[in-house]
Chain A
């Protein structure tokens, strides 16, 4: 699916925790980009119909990429830059 361009982002490698699993990321990229590069296909289920969703716009408009980031629910993961050791989970509860 998605691959990083060879030279972008050029930042140092780091690790984030997604659902208890360590995923590689690079400083300067968004959480959404790191997950897509790690072949995460489903970011969330819609609250009413439980339809699977993944990032669509990557610019903060569509709200399809919502994730719980460091305990805060419903963050737009395309708008949050990765940090080493960041804890990322899918939406919990309603």
Chain B
């Protein structure tokens, strides 16, 4: 097998691509990471920062286990990044709480967590249903409408921007080539194995934001477009919303669509929330993030006031004292959603060495992507116990998905 310039090219330098690439360079592979540019949707710049297990994997125990495993490995990931580059993503795992605003909500939480425990056959899956007194001991900021809640041991949170920065800094230190403003035009499987990747670099190759902006001649933005070709033994498509088109170049279906989520951030304040919840958490610097919205808005990333108002209203029912804090920022971002909400891990049947990964949980699953997914890619195959995450599950709507596992 002729030696290629790179052992692996990862397309996408967001949390998923950067984590996989980080795992690959730590194994010792020669890696290039291609990142399209600031005009793309970049969910990795807009997420909430939870490493969340509670309630995930109902009806899909493999996903519950996969998520739990990543939470366990997150301590190693955080330590490894700090050791490599000195940037601390700040992983904390006090456990997570889901407050309930009615007895019905509390009942539903209990049913859900019992189901996750029995399906995953993990008798030691640790959760606790909290009554109204117990939840106030843990989260004294709860308002009078909170009737109780659920706690699991495995939930935590992290600064997602520091995580992305730590991954990129560590990639550099391990010698990965991270090329920004580089759009992949074509992935061409080569006879005898490996791939040639045709890329266009420069602002005009990637940036719609700069349309209409006329950079001065000779400035760095006057780069136009340069075309290059890279050769690699393996190619990993981790390009979020761009993965659908890229996957089709190597025979992998990546049926993803955008789900709009919106986040509000308050001014910094003293620590009042010791535990993260699914929709409200306090950062290690004191900002309180409010979120939890899910809307189909196509590729619109605006942050409408109506949605902000709904998020704020629900958050205030849970933690009324947030009302006195100012909101300093809000934004929208687009989750990478598959039809069933579970991730996609795919290897091309036609072209050995081509992979695609897509999920909406780039923070939670980062540790698995670093420590496990990179190993599959090095070896060239996805292990059989992960077959349930193949996009083949979407091929026939009449097939019984529970039998695939």
Identify the A interface with B (CB < 8 A): 46-49, 63, 66, 74, 94
Beta-carbon contacts under 8 Å, B266-280 to A: 267-272
Query: Judging by beta carbons under 8 Å apart, are A94 and B270 in contact?
Result: yes
Query: Judging by beta carbons under 8 Å apart, are A47 and B269 in contact?
Result: yes
Consensus secondary structure, chain B interface: loop
Cβ contacts under 8 Å, B270 to chain A? 47-48, 94
Q: A47-B268, A94-B269 are in contact. Are A74 and B286 (CB under 8 A)?
A: no
B88: Cβ under 8 A from any A Cβ: no
How far apart sit A74 and B328, CA to CA, in the bound complex (Å)? 11
Beta-carbon contacts under 8 Å, B284-312 to A: 284-286
B217: Cβ under 8 A from any A Cβ: no
Cβ contacts under 8 Å, B403 to chain A? none
Cβ contacts under 8 Å, B272 to chain A? 94
Cβ contacts under 8 Å, A74 to chain B? 267, 326
How far apart sit A94 and B268, CA to CA, in the bound complex (Å)? 9
Q: Report the nearest B residue to A93, measured CB to CB.
A: B270
Cβ contacts under 8 Å, B285 to chain A? 46, 48-49
Name the 5 nearest CB pairs between A and B, nearest first.
A94-B270, A48-B286, A47-B286, A47-B270, A47-B268
Some 24 contacts from A to B, beta carbons below 8 A apart, are A46-B268, A46-B285, A46-B286, A47-B268, A47-B269, A47-B270, A47-B271, A47-B286, A48-B268, A48-B270, A48-B271, A48-B284, A48-B285, A48-B286, A49-B285, A63-B267, A63-B268, A63-B328, A66-B267, A74-B267, A74-B326, A94-B269, A94-B270, A94-B272
How far apart sit A52 and B272, CA to CA, in the bound complex (Å)? 21
Cβ contacts under 8 Å, A48 to chain B? 268, 270-271, 284-286
Q: How far is the CB of B403 from chain A (nearest CB, A)?
A: 50
Cβ contacts under 8 Å, A47 to chain B? 268-271, 286
Give 12 A-B pairs besides A47-B269, A63-B268 with Cβ atoms closer than 8 angstroms: A46-B268, A46-B285, A46-B286, A47-B268, A47-B271, A48-B268, A48-B270, A48-B271, A48-B285, A48-B286, A74-B267, A94-B269
How far apart sit A6 and B355, CA to CA, in the bound complex (Å)? 63
How far apart sit A66 and B326, CA to CA, in the bound complex (Å)? 12
Cβ contacts under 8 Å, B269 to chain A? 47, 94
Beta-carbon contacts under 8 Å, B238-271 to A: 267-271
Cβ contacts under 8 Å, A63 to chain B? 267-268, 328
Q: Report the nearest A residue to B271, measured CB to CB.
A: A48
> Could you give, for residues 310-326 of chain B, a 1 whenever the CB lies within 8 Å of some chain A CB and a 0 otherwise?
00000000000000001
Q: How far is the CB of B239 from chain A (nearest CB, A)?
A: 30
Q: How far is the CB of B330 from chain A (nearest CB, A)?
A: 14
How far apart sit A66 and B286, CA to CA, in the bound complex (Å)? 14
How far apart sit A49 and B328, CA to CA, in the bound complex (Å)? 20
Q: How far is the CB of B289 from chain A (nearest CB, A)?
A: 14
How far apart sit A46 and B285, CA to CA, in the bound complex (Å)? 8
How far apart sit A49 and B269, CA to CA, in the bound complex (Å)? 11
How far apart sit A94 and B322, CA to CA, in the bound complex (Å)? 12
Q: Report the nearest A residue to B325, measured CB to CB.
A: A74
Cβ contacts under 8 Å, B271 to chain A? 47-48
How far apart sit A48 and B287, CA to CA, in the bound complex (Å)? 10
How far apart sit A64 and B285, CA to CA, in the bound complex (Å)? 12
How far apart sit A8 and B272, CA to CA, in the bound complex (Å)? 44
How far apart sit A74 and B266, CA to CA, in the bound complex (Å)? 11
How far apart sit A94 and B286, CA to CA, in the bound complex (Å)? 10
Q: How far is the CB of B208 from chain A (nearest CB, A)?
A: 24
Q: Report the nearest A residue to B326, measured CB to CB.
A: A74
Q: How far is the CB of B286 from chain A (nearest CB, A)?
A: 4
Cβ contacts under 8 Å, B328 to chain A? 63
How far apart sit A32 and B326, CA to CA, in the bound complex (Å)? 20
Interface centre among A48, A63, A74, A94 (most CB of B within 10 A): A48
Cβ contacts under 8 Å, A49 to chain B? 285
How far apart sit A63 and B284, CA to CA, in the bound complex (Å)? 16
Q: Report the nearest B residue to A94, measured CB to CB.
A: B270
How far apart sit A27 and B267, CA to CA, in the bound complex (Å)? 28
How far apart sit A49 and B268, CA to CA, in the bound complex (Å)? 11
Q: How far is the CB of B327 from chain A (nearest CB, A)?
A: 12
Cβ contacts under 8 Å, B326 to chain A? 74
Q: Report the nearest B residue to A51, measured CB to CB.
A: B285
How far apart sit A49 and B271, CA to CA, in the bound complex (Å)? 10
How far apart sit A48 and B282, CA to CA, in the bound complex (Å)? 11
